Structure 1
Amino acid sequence: MLSSIAGFFDRMVRRYLPDAFLFAILLTIIVFLLGVFFTNSSPVQMVEYWGGGFWNLLEFAMQMSLIVVTGYILANSPIVKNILGKISKLAKTPGQAIVLVTFVAAIACLINYGFGLVVGALLAIHVAKRIPSVDYRLLMASAYSAFLLWHGGLSGSVPLTIATEGHFLEDMLGIVPITETLFSGFNLFIVGTLLITLPLLNRLLMNSTQGTGKIDPELLNLQANQVEETVETPKEEMTPADRLENSQILSLIIGILGLVFIIYHFVQNGFDLNINIVNFIFLFLGIIFHRTPRRFLNSVTDAVKNAGGIIIQFPFYAGIMGMMVTSGLSEQMSLWFVNISTEFTLPLFSFISAGIVNFFVPSGGGQWAIQGPIMIPAAIDLDVSTAKTAMAVAWGDAWTNMIQPFWALPLLAIAGLKVKDIMGFCVMVLFFSFIPISIGLLFF
């Protein structure tokens, strides 16, 4: 039955789900119409909200583009290829490949979401090279399914925000330590259950693929970062510029400077593995591991080809967020769930409402800024744990990422796939994960 359901969703998604760019356009139209019909906003105002928010994610778009580029550069280095190759040898069969990629990617996502997206995709490519009979689409879907755990891990924006002095809800919440959020009993139950069951679920989904996801060897070689080394000019024929481009000393000097800053960052800030420091680590390790500026730049040239989807699509999602927030649509959605909640059901309805809002506002920090001021007063009025309510919003944000292409774009860029190639499997993950998350929020 599971295979039949998964096969059905896979067929429907591959047939009817458009390219991720068209998906963003359709969402834009839907939110525009919702704003006109369900808020006091006129069509002209909705256009104003859309255009006004269009460029609000430029910094984030650059960060995610660099995640793809620097991750590709690092993975293209001989050292990392060797490490990922050794990890991939732990899998001997297609089933083991699915389990290995899901588990490793999940651990990486618990450490940091950007790190997890890149590691999952790159490991999947190395595993697919060793086990070409594995379904490549399901393998990449398995890597992306691990992203479900990110908001319950060390880079979760909601728990880290409310644990930071000076956050915008401090007057209501105070400072909430991560012992009450990330390391609470209910969160550990959800994380632990998903960490064990997701690899098994993805393994069971193998029976639904029926050999439809065999990878083209040429694409796999391309995505496996098999960049041809440039033929280097003999030393006696090098110009001064050639010598600089092929200088290992220059790469080593700038690489060491980068490593010194990385060490300084962790000494000063503790284990603060944010997206900027992840990019910084990837970039400077890439410079060192490629040994010369010329080899590094050759890898950069290939890497930037993968970032096009992110660069062009993220502004459209920023425009959608602008319409959702400024028109009051996101607030209306949240208030509706608050109005039907009780002391027992508020965490569950906070989770569901966050999942719906996340579909249109796919940003953890941005979503918390919208829903936090609504959900936390409701929790206080109903005498519900504010820490659990905050984590319910966090898990809702992570939950519908499984059917929202926004976060899948970096992984898909590395994999060389389209969103419809993996989303049918992710629908199954969405339905399944509702169970342990709901149990954790209601009964722990």
Structure 2
Amino acid sequence: MSAGREPWLARAALRCAAFAERWFPDAWVFAVIGVLIVAVAALLGGATPQATAQAFGKGYWSLIPFTMQMVFVVIGGYVVATAPVVARLIGRLARWPRSGRGAVAFVATVSMLTSLLSWGFSLVFAGLLVRALARRTELRMDYRAAGAAAYLGLGAVWALGLSSSAAQLQANPASMPPGLLEITGVLPFAQTIFLWQSLALTAALIVVSVLVAYATAPGEAAARGVELATTLHDEAPAPVRTRPGEWLEHSPLLTVLLSLLAFGWLASEFAAKPFANAIADLNTYNLLFLSLALLLHWRPRGFLDAVTRAVPGTAGVLLQFPLYGGIAMLLTGVPGTDGATLAHRLSELFVQVASRDSFALVMGAYSAVLGFFVPSGGGKWIIEAPYVMQAATELQVHLGWAVQVYNAAEALPNLVNPFWMLPLLGVLGLKARDIVGFTFVQLLVHVPLVLGLLWLLGMTLDYVPPVLPVVS
């Protein structure tokens, strides 16, 4: 089907993607602009230049533990997804679908379910599944629609799962930026992603997204295949030992011994704590994925090579999160002439604009719009949380649900923002414009569905005062 014959929604989406690719700078530029805007706002509020500069410098390195934890979320997910045994699993899964549209719906389902475990794993796993399906010459599957379906994990439900950076941050007081802990206290997973309301929202999004993916996939006559790919990187060959000194790198001995230590510790953690509490610890979560990746690759050299391929995907996190730490400190640690911080003023604005009943709608819409310009789940939460959660406290909104409002709304702009598509597009050999026509239709369906369910389900929750950790 030629571009001129595409449905008008797809044509509009393609124009939006082309505009974004041409005019939108790197996400780091948006983060720097955010720092400058907040710094100027602090100065206009009466803060001194010295206090403003000191707050930025103090906050810049305040998120190093959380930054490294997010880096390992990306690495762990990628390395597990590229293990040889997982590749064989993908090959078997690719045999299941019997039609092109069924294959697209299957990819959407797999993408979203795996993203609840790890968004980094989901992107790579679903992308490799699409490539395996495309190799089936008898299956007339549209490669673009399948690529869009592979992206639904990150575009729909990832932030409602275990790798939700906002929920993980709120459950780990040691990783929280200055000022936030005093506002929200510790929010365990039982009050965020494991709420029955959150599980119901997740289930609804998965069902609706799969139906839309199936309905929008071109039929066999109009399907376009893998020939659309500009490049396709073959799987890395198995590493070969070339020198005697490399024998330990190619022997499973170190893998077995190190795995015994790691899984022994993990077993003791899960035995001593409820599952929700144990998995909410980012260090435990990351060690679980890294240990599993090491075991699946079996030999250290294969594991190390996979990590090397994963590291470039962490550059955005490493460069942007320190800037978000600086923004958080500028918001919470620089009082103006009246003694009020920017976070306090913004929370007052939220209280004036929203009510307890409309909080989910106001915050959800605001967070979704901001997410298009600041494409970082954890980083954006660090910016928003101080004033958003202060407003939630004053309006007596359930604090855990306020986190989930952010999580669900934050995923919406991912559906059309090229930033998060890049790892998947690299696996598929496609460009953002190839898949965004399909994800744009998903966005049109998701916006009213997400905002409506956030408002409706939020009405079933009562306010719970924050629980502050005991300081010894």
User: TM-score scaled to structure 1, two decimals?
Assistant: 0.76
**Offset of residue 190 of structure 1:** 1.9
2:145 partner letter: L
Match for residue 258 of structure 1? 262
**Offset of residue 304 of structure 1:** 2.6
Mean Cα deviation higher: 433-442 or 11-20: 11-20
Q: How many residues align?
A: 431
Identity of aligned residues (%): 26
In structure 2, what is the Cα distance between the partners aligned to 1:282 and 1:427? 32
CA deviation string 1:40-78 (max 9, x = no partner): 469x99999888877666655655555555544444443
Q: Provide structure 2 residue ranges, at least 5 long, that are not aligned to the other structure.
A: 332-340, 458-472
8 Å Cα contact 1:18-1:420 kept in structure 2: no
Indicate yes or no: 2:160 matched with 1:152.
yes
**Offset of residue 111 of structure 1:** 3.2
1:139 partner letter: A
Alignment of 1:34-49 (within 5 A): 34=37, 40=43
Match for residue 84 of structure 1? 90
Indicate yes or no: 2:290 matched with 1:283.
yes
**Offset of residue 252 of structure 1:** 2.8
**Inter-CA distance 410–257: structure 2 relative to 1 (3 Å threshold):** farther
In structure 1, what is the Cα distance between the partners aligned to 2:172 and 2:454? 23
8 Å Cα contact 1:51-1:319 kept in structure 2: no
Match for residue 429 of structure 1? 442
**Offset of residue 175 of structure 1:** 6.6
Indicate yes or no: 2:223 matched with 1:214.
no
Mean Cα deviation higher: 394-403 or 24-33: 24-33
Match for residue 299 of structure 2? 292
8 Å Cα contact 1:403-1:426 kept in structure 2: yes
Indicate yes or no: 2:21 matched with 1:17.
yes
Match of 2:200 among 174, 189, 194: 189
**Offset of residue 348 of structure 1:** 0.8
In structure 2, what is the Cα distance between the partners aligned to 1:348 and 1:186? 16
CA deviation string 1:11-31 (max 9, x = no partner): 4313541498x3325525754
8 Å Cα contact 2:140-2:225 kept in structure 1: no
User: TM-score scaled to structure 2, two decimals?
Assistant: 0.72
Indicate yes or no: 2:105 matched with 1:99.
yes
Indicate yes or no: 2:378 matched with 1:374.
no
- SS of the equivalent of 2:98 reads coil
Match of 1:203 among 214, 218, 223: 214
In structure 2, what is the Cα distance between the partners aligned to 1:417 and 1:19? 19
Query: Pairwise CA RMSD of aligned residues?
Result: 4.4
8 Å Cα contact 1:56-1:315 kept in structure 2: no
CA deviation string 1:404-427 (max 9, x = no partner): 455445444544555555444433
**Inter-CA distance 35–208: structure 2 relative to 1 (3 Å threshold):** farther
1:394 partner letter: N
2:401 partner letter: K
**Inter-CA distance 331–253: structure 2 relative to 1 (3 Å threshold):** same
**Inter-CA distance 372–11: structure 2 relative to 1 (3 Å threshold):** closer
**Inter-CA distance 316–172: structure 2 relative to 1 (3 Å threshold):** closer
Q: Provide structure 1 residue ranges, at least 5 long, that are not aligned to the other structure.
A: none
- SS of the equivalent of 2:217 reads helix
**Offset of residue 438 of structure 1:** 1.7
Match for residue 252 of structure 2? 248
1:261 partner letter: W
Alignment of 1:22-421 (within 5 A): 22-24=25-27, 27-28=30-31, 31=34, 34=37, 40=43, 62-63=68-69, 66-130=72-136, 133-147=140-154, 148-159=156-167, 181-184=192-195, 186-207=197-218, 214-215=226-227, 219-220=231-232, 222-223=233-234, 225=235, 227-230=236-239, 239=244, 241-271=245-275, 272-273=278-279, 276-297=283-304, 299-300=305-306, 304-305=308-309, 307-311=311-315, 314-316=318-320, 318-319=322-323, 322-323=326-327, 326=330, 336-405=349-418, 407-421=420-434
More helix per residue: 1 or 2? 1
8 Å Cα contact 1:325-1:331 kept in structure 2: no
**Inter-CA distance 37–111: structure 2 relative to 1 (3 Å threshold):** same
CA deviation string 1:74-116 (max 9, x = no partner): 4444322211221222223331222112112212222344443
8 Å Cα contact 1:158-1:368 kept in structure 2: yes
